[in-house]
Chain A
């Protein structure tokens, strides 16, 4: 027969101590665990930190729901959501350019929701919503354009560019930076916008002409304007609000919304499929589409155009009525097939050309 005396021997003598310890620790955990009566929400955020934090705090204040926030760029967040697909950990994903949100919708990573606030939105904000069957909705608009360094431009005696076609002028040779369309959402939006603005052939001819003047393709979309701010390059192709932001930081940057009209990104928000706190996630979307919440973005120096018609646009924000926006086809150019086709074509026809 097998006996296990040690199991019992061990506890002899330490009995009282152990019981006391157990009781104490129980007490400790009862104190240490707060109650989340109002629920919780796991929130993935892809704008800059201050705006993310503002949204989190404001939502907690208004609803009493405890928010756990993780911030990463929109590409990284999409990658994370994709990797977590079999056991989703996030509930709602807010901010970042619309493209990854559209990709998420296409890959079935997000779920539809019709917010009661939809009727208060600009038409452009509803486009992604209709295009994806309700899986993502626009929260802000950022027009595409470029920014230049005024000091450097004056020093070199170059004319101030106003249009897309100005950038093709040979005077700007080696003075322009943009990102690779295959690595950056900004640069892909540029490519897609040119194709929509000038037609497929015209658009690619434009990209070929621009290619001759490009000093360097960067990998991240915002690298160009940052380099321009510090005088490393004269012109950076970016979203206008990105250029405005550098200017408000004190750099000699002038933002340009090109005269021919331009494409734009729609910063979006989506509810992740399989969200554990679906009710909280829906409340968050309603909250994010509310006019007074959107009006708060100027507090954290974010100058995108809000999607709620009643929201107050920050005075520094580029005036959307003065920008000619093209009728950007998000459903087509956000789809994986078309994106892959355009990027392959750019790689094959533009990238290989000598400069």
Chain B
């Protein structure tokens, strides 16, 4: 009787290092050792992509030494255990995966190694002890260390995957190494880049001005009248910010979902002409450069705006400021967030199986009945996720309420001013953020309950060659009537924006000029230096493009991977994990920005001032759209498809790549488009994270807007809009279409 490790090709007791046994372990162990022996343990002061260390004293110079030399040469003896935890798993190489010692060794060294490496970074920081009480207990220390660098990063990664391989060897997730690794990877990332910074700032809610923890103060703040007051029912004073926000969020969530559905139905199930045009026009508002939409609406509907001027001229109605308040916020937010609902819904609507509708009609249901009782209920996962996104986006949005809100106070603006305003009360900001998160949590559970435990699978392995029936006439008309005003609005608004870039002073002096474009984007050819990028905007433009292009695929990839884990796998704490992924999306960017500085400005993870912090921030802020779109789409795919693939011997990674991903193309497009566009237009978190070398377009535009240079801001925005349209086209081209039976599929 032989076990696999005693197969003839390998030396008994020691499987050849190049044999395929334990390949994963060898890979990650190799990476970890590489990080420990070769690469600099600490981060170079000059940034993540700077390789100055290669020539500047590596490997012996203190700041650039690898882990092993830090211990032996620079007296950082507390790193010894890292070596120990790296040595232990070497013995596991010679054991078979079924050997209980294999799993135990990996769990022990991977888990403890990871925990140790991370916590030693927190315990000993840039100025000695990471926490004051350590100094009280152990006395002062002369030792200090910098932020973690490549070396520590690889070692941590190695430990993490050793741990998940240990879990898999113990039989978790049916022993699937890839899925175990993915779960571990996603959880650790979300913990570090979402939970840690958000927690870092929410803890403020429990502290008073001197930094003492006072729970009663928290209770007093969170129950305060300004948050929960109900004066609007009894007097002409306004209600508490919480109610205002809730009303706004629910209205925007419902409206965007209905509009998104109307567009998705029109584009997939009617014989409408010019579908391509409608798709593009309905997607256009996803590209909302900060504050520009707000100004366009003011010029349109404000007291001196076109509509009011016309009303006064035609009917003698005196102009008023009806725009400012909930009305204005609703118009702007519905305009801005409908494309997100549309992106989530189009794939879902498309994937509803015609077979079920045919079955319904064969049973003599009318088209009207079929739509309401069969098609629409099958779209529920899409509707629920679209509503959730709309609701959360609305609560977290701060630009539109700021410009158009008038005196309608909402949580996001109050949070911004609690942090940044004259009063400077981060404790209050944290309390308000907690209220906001309570709403998000409620919405999250409400949508879960609404979906229930039913199956929405409509894409199965069975023959499914039908074509969707046309929408019933009445529904089609409803869809047209819902969509048309939106479409006209978005065309008018974007027309105005493009126009605004070419005139002297938008909204006042409308003589044609190119000077804004010249100031921002002029190129100059000189004999001496060649091409000179003279325009003021080039620097931030290229940075923005670069950061967006890097973060978009990472965001989409991580988002869909997380969706896969959440829909297809079961593990302990899944619900909490799912909610955590939405934290950084649900909280206003201001809080995230400050949280990121608090968390990542000091060792062990010191990335402020680099491009990395921007990329990371975008990934975790925009990932939830990928997750929601992925969840909606994946719950339509029959799990028997995965099972068939797995039964035929494919690994879970192969199944994900070859079976699921091609069926998820619309979700992938949604995730890529959203994350690319958001990386280019996000503002509130970015303000705090930009640095001289990494200035972003939006923070530059905001600087222009703050001082009323709208012409320049709009010229820049128009260029961004064109770039984003081109990028959306490219994304569509690169991802390709999903083919379902004979159904037509769609491009943007």
> Footprint of B on A, CB under 8 Å?
2-6, 25-26, 29-30, 33, 42-43, 48-49, 53, 67-73, 75-76, 78-80, 83-84, 86-87, 89, 99, 103, 180-185, 187-188, 215-217, 219-220, 222, 226, 229-233, 245-246, 249-251, 339-340, 343, 352, 354
Q: Does B302 contact A (CB under 8 A)?
A: yes
Q: Determine whether B507 belongs to the interface, using a CB cutoff of 8 Å to chain A.
A: yes
Q: Are A339 and B690 in contact (CB under 8 A)?
A: no
Residues on A with C-beta less than 8 A from B413 are 219
Does B707 contact A49, Cβ atoms closer than 8 Å?
Answer: yes
Question: A6-B18, A181-B422, A219-B417 in contact; A232/B700 too (CB < 8 A)?
Answer: no
Evaluate whether A89 and B601 lie within 8 angstroms (CB atoms) in the complex, with A182-B423, A215-B321, A220-B402 already known.
Answer: yes
Cβ-defined partner of B51 (8 Å) among A4, A29, A71, A89? A29
Q: How far is the CB of A212 from chain B (nearest CB, A)?
A: 14
A70–B597 contact, CB under 8 A?
no
B602 at the interface (CB under 8 A from A): yes
Within the assembled complex, what's the spacing in Å between the Cα atoms of A75 and B594? 13
Chain A residues with Cβ below 8 Å from B235 are 354
- Verify A70–B691 contact, CB threshold 8 A: yes
Query: How distant is A115 from chain B, measured CB to nearest CB, in Å?
Result: 24
Cβ contacts under 8 Å, B704 to chain A: 49
Please, which residues of chain B bring their CB within 8 A of the CB of A33?
52
Within B674-715, which residues are at the interface with A (CB < 8 Å)? 687-688, 690-693, 695, 699-700, 703-704, 706-709
Residues of B at under 8 Å CB distance from A? Answer: 17-18, 30, 51-52, 54-55, 90-91, 93, 126-127, 235-237, 298-299, 302-304, 321, 324, 402, 405-407, 413, 417, 419-424, 504-505, 507-509, 536, 594, 597-598, 601-602, 606, 608-609, 687-688, 690-693, 695, 699-700, 703-704, 706-709
Q: Please tell me if the beta carbons of A83 and B688 are within 8 angstroms of each other in the complex.
A: yes
Given contacts A78-B424, A219-B413, contact A84 B601 (CB under 8 A): yes
Pair B700/A6 contact, Cβ less than 8 Å: no
3 smallest CB-CB distances across A and B, nearest first, come from A68-B692, A231-B304, A83-B597
Q: How far is the CA of A42 from the CA of B402 in the complex (A)?
A: 30
- 5 A-B pairs within 8 Å (CB atoms) are namely A26-B54, A83-B594, A84-B597, A219-B402, A250-B504
CB–CB B708/A4 < 8 A:
no
Does A183 lie within 8 Å of B508, measured CB to CB?
Answer: no
**Complex Cα–Cα for A80 and B609 (A):** 12
Q: Is the CB of A230 within 8 A of B508?
A: yes
Residues on B with beta carbons closer than 8 Å to the beta carbon of A30:
55
Extra contacts, 11 of them, besides A70-B691, A79-B420 (Cβ < 8 A), are A72-B687, A76-B420, A86-B601, A86-B602, A89-B609, A185-B422, A216-B407, A230-B508, A231-B303, A250-B509, A339-B423
A350 to B607: give the CA distance in the assembly, Å: 45
CA distance A94 to B17 in the complex (A): 61
Interface centre among A3, A184, A187, A232 (most CB of B within 10 A): A232
**A87 surroundings in chain B (CB, below 8 A):** 126, 601-602, 606
Q: Which of A48, A68, A251 contacts B706 (CB 8 A)?
A: A48
Number of A-B contacts (CB under 8 A): 153
Contact of B302 (CB < 8 Å), options: A73, A86, A229, A232: A232
Contact call A183/B421, Cβ cutoff below 8 A: yes
Complex partner residue of B237 from A78, A83, A352, CB under 8 angstroms: A352
What's the Cα separation between A89 and B692 when bound, in Å? 11
Known: A6-B18, A80-B688. Contact between A232 and B303, CB under 8 A? yes
Identify which of B90, B127, B420, B690 contacts A70 (C-beta below 8 A). B690
CB atoms of A6 and B30 under 8 A apart: yes
Q: Which of A25, A26, A75 contacts B422 (CB 8 A)?
A: A75
Q: Judge whether A182 and B421 touch: CB under 8 Å.
A: yes
Taking the closest CB of chain B, its distance from the CB of A79, in whole angstroms, is 5
The answer to whether A229 touches B417 (Cβ under 8 A) is: no
Q: How far is the CA of A163 from the CA of B404 in the complex (A)?
A: 30
Q: A-side binding surface: helix, strand, loop or mixed?
A: mixed
- Given A4-B17, A339-B423, A352-B237, decide whether A245 and B708 contact each other with a Cβ distance below 8 A: yes
Which residues of chain A have C-beta atoms less than 8 A from B93's C-beta?
A: 2
**Nearest Cβ on chain B to A94's Cβ, whole angstroms:** 14
CA distance A2 to B508 in the complex (A): 80
A246 to B236, CA, bound (A): 34
What is the minimal beta-carbon distance from B740 to any residue of chain A, in angstroms?
46
**Chain A: minimal CB distance from B18 (Å):** 7
Beta-carbon contact of A42 and B692 below 8 Å: yes
Across-interface contacts of A76 in B (CB, < 8 A): 420, 687-688
A219 and B90 CA atoms in complex are apart in Å by 62
Interface centre among A99, A187, A230 (most CB of B within 10 A): A230
CA distance A217 to B405 in the complex (A): 10
Given A183-B417, A251-B508, CB of A84 within 8 Å of CB of B608: yes
Q: What's the minimum C-beta distance from B51 to chain A, rounded to whole angstroms? A: 6
Say how far A50's CB is from chain B's closest CB, in angstroms.
Answer: 9
A188 vs B709: C-alpha distance when bound (angstroms): 25
Taking the closest CB of chain B, its distance from the CB of A32, in whole angstroms, is 9
For A183, give its contact among B90, B127, B422 (CB under 8 Å).
Answer: B422
Taken together as a complex, chains A and B put the C-alpha atoms of A68 and B687 apart, in Å, by 16
Output the least CB separation between A88 and chain B (Å).
Answer: 9
Are A5 and B422 in touch, CB under 8 angstroms?
Answer: no
Chain B residues whose C-beta falls within 8 Å of the C-beta of A67 in the assembled complex: 692
Please state if B601 and A216 are interface contacts (CB–CB under 8 Å): no
List residues of chain A with CB within 8 A of the CB of B421. 75, 182-184
Is A83 within 8 A of B508, CB to CB?
no
The closest CB in chain B to the CB of A71 belongs to B703
Taking the closest CB of chain A, its distance from the CB of B415, in whole angstroms, is 11
- Which of A68, A80, A226, A339 has most chain B Cβ within 10 Å? A80
Chain A residue with the shortest CB-CB distance to B688: A80
Cβ-defined contact, B51 with A25, below 8 A: yes
Closest to A3 in B: B17
Q: Which residues of B contact A53 (CB under 8 A)?
A: 536
Is there contact, CB below 8 Å, between B422 and A229? no
The residue on A at minimum CB distance from B90 is A2
Residues of A within 8 A of B321 (CB): 215-216, 232-233
Separation of A339 and B691 alpha carbons in the complex (Å): 31
Q: Is the CB of B708 within 8 A of A249?
A: yes
Known: A71-B703, A84-B608, A232-B298. A182 touches B422 (CB 8 A): yes
Closest Cβ neighbor of B46 among chain A residues: A33
Closest-CB distance, B323 to chain A (whole angstroms): 9
Evaluate contact between A73 and B706: CB separation under 8 angstroms.
yes
Using known A-B contacts A75-B420, A79-B419, determine if residue A222 contacts B298 with beta carbons closer than 8 Å. no
Are A184 and B303 neighbours in the complex by a CB distance under 8 Å?
A: no
Chain B residues within an 8 Å CB radius of A75: 420-422
Cβ contact within 8 Å between A26 and B55: yes
Residues of A within 8 Å of B17, CB to CB, are 3-6
Min CB distance A14 to B, Å, is 16
| B26, closest chain A residue (CB) | A6
The CA of A33 and the CA of B508, in the complex, are separated in Å by 48
Contacts of B417 in A (CB 8 A): 180, 182-183, 219
- Per the bound structure, the CA–CA distance linking A310 and B703 in Å amounts to 30
Cα A277 to Cα B664 with chains together (Å) = 52
Residue of A nearest to B417 (CB): A183
With most chain A CB atoms within 10 A of its CB, the pick from B235, B236, B707 is B707
Give complex CA distance A119, B654 in Å: 75
- Count chain A CB atoms within 10 A of each CB in B91, B421, B505 and give the residue with the most: B421
